[in-house]
Amino acid sequence: MATTEKTALNARLIQRTEVAPGLLIVQVAPEGWELPEFRPGQYTVLALPGSAPRCEGSDSEANERDPAKLIKRAYSITSSTVGRDYLEFYLTLVRSGELTPRLFALGVGDALYLGPKITGMFTLESVPEDQHVMLFATGTGLAPYMSMIRSSLAEHRHRRVAIVHGAYHSWDLGYRAELATLARVCPHLTYLPLVSETADEPVPWRGLTGFCQDVWTSGVIDERWGFRPTPENTHAFLCGHPGMIQGMLELLKESGFVEHSKKSPGQIHLEKYW
Ligand SMILES: Cc1cc2nc3c(=O)[nH]c(=O)nc-3n(C[C@H](O)[C@H](O)[C@H](O)COP(=O)(O)OP(=O)(O)OC[C@H]3O[C@@H](n4cnc5c(N)ncnc54)[C@H](O)[C@@H]3O)c2cc1C
């Protein structure tokens, strides 16, 4: 890589955990600078230059990239806001993508660019203290919720929190052990992992099946909480596959929930990855 690129690479990969093929948890530490304060649910930018190699199994690029130009993308932070030695991210490989095949080729100790500005409105700040929260995710859409849970679960013991995490296969359910353990020790956390492609499971999947929308319509959360989540008592967060976001949005609106915006407060909060 040329000298100009090296000066731009201001961080190092300090841990790399493969959850399943095409799913990675990475920890990135700033080099020679301090991470700013941030709020759980926010995101920053990761980047690599066009000269960075692509991982095995990714598609080859039709057009050559400018070797010096940084390819930048937004990623939600999964780590707690308390410890700030590094930031953690949960990444899915887009085989035809520009950046993710390069991120997946990184090893521990490799340099990359970490955006020093952390931003985003997908946080619990606009949720009143006395409201419960339902966090719906598919795939790496779980990322912002991990930061919320790790940062503030212990502070709000009166608040019910339900995490609904959908994946094709049980082995794609990143953070499953951590969330299952937290749900066992914190009764106010309900963890609902669900799998859609059950025929592929090596041993029969005994948990919930289908999509996030099925969890909502079947009333599993009502049963687990002992009451019906309504716009009066609960806020809903949606992050992940655009189909899930659209489907959940329609169902929640039918139940009287309203999409939140800065100008007009509501109970549905969205983060669209693409
Ligand atoms: C606020 C925000 C936060 C984000 N946080 C995360 C995160 O925590 N983890 C993460 O993996 N991605 C996250 N993304 C998506 C990320 O920014 C990139 O778009 C993604 O990594 C693909 O980059 P790429 O350069 O490899 O693909 P590109 O060459 O940019 O191709 C983009 C295409 O990839 C597909 N795509 C993008 N994201 C995904 C995905 N997560 N799963 C499946 N297909 C996808 C879509 O078809 C999209 O049109 C976030 C995006 C936003 C806007």
What is the C-alpha separation between 43 and 141, in angstroms, rounded? Answer: 12
Residues (pLDDT < 50) of the chain are 1-6
pLDDT computed for residue 31 by the predictor: 97
Largest CA distance in the chain: 60
Looking at residue 3, its pLDDT comes to: 41
Nearest CA to ligand 1 atom 29: 97
Would you state the pLDDT for residue 83? 85
pLDDT of residue 2: 45
Q: Which stretches does DSSP call E strand in 196-274?
A: 208-209, 234-240, 268-272
Residue-wise pLDDT for 227-244, tens only, equals 999 999 999 999 999 999
Instruction: Report pLDDT for 154.
Output: 84
> Which ligand 1 atom is the nearest neighbour of the CA of 140?
9
* Atom number of ligand 1 nearest to Cα 93: 26
Taking the complete model, does pTM exceed 0.85, yes or no? yes
Residue 64 pLDDT: 84
Cα separation, 48 vs 73, whole angstroms: 9
CB atoms within 10 A of CB 87: 25
Distance CA 84, CA 167 (A): 29
The whole-angstrom separation of Cα 144 and Cα 105 is 24
Q: What pLDDT does 6 receive?
A: 44
The pLDDT value recorded for residue 62 is 84
Q: What is the pLDDT of residue 65?
A: 87
Question: Do 266 and 255 meet the contact criterion of CB atoms below 8 Å apart?
Answer: no
* Closest residue CA from atom 48 of ligand 1: 274
Beta carbon of 43 within 6 Å of any ligand 1 atom: yes
Determine the pLDDT at residue 1: 46
Rounded CA separation 233/228 (Å) = 9
Report the distance separating Cα 212 and Cα 220, nearest Å.
Answer: 11
For residue 7, what pLDDT is reported?
A: 52
147 lines ligand 1 (CB under 6 A): no
**What confidence score (pLDDT) does residue 164 get?**
98
92 lines ligand 1 (CB under 6 A): yes
98 close to ligand 1 (CB < 6 Angstrom) = yes
Q: Please tell me the predicted confidence (pLDDT) of residue 63.
A: 85
For ligand 1, whether the C-beta of 257 sits within 6 Å is no
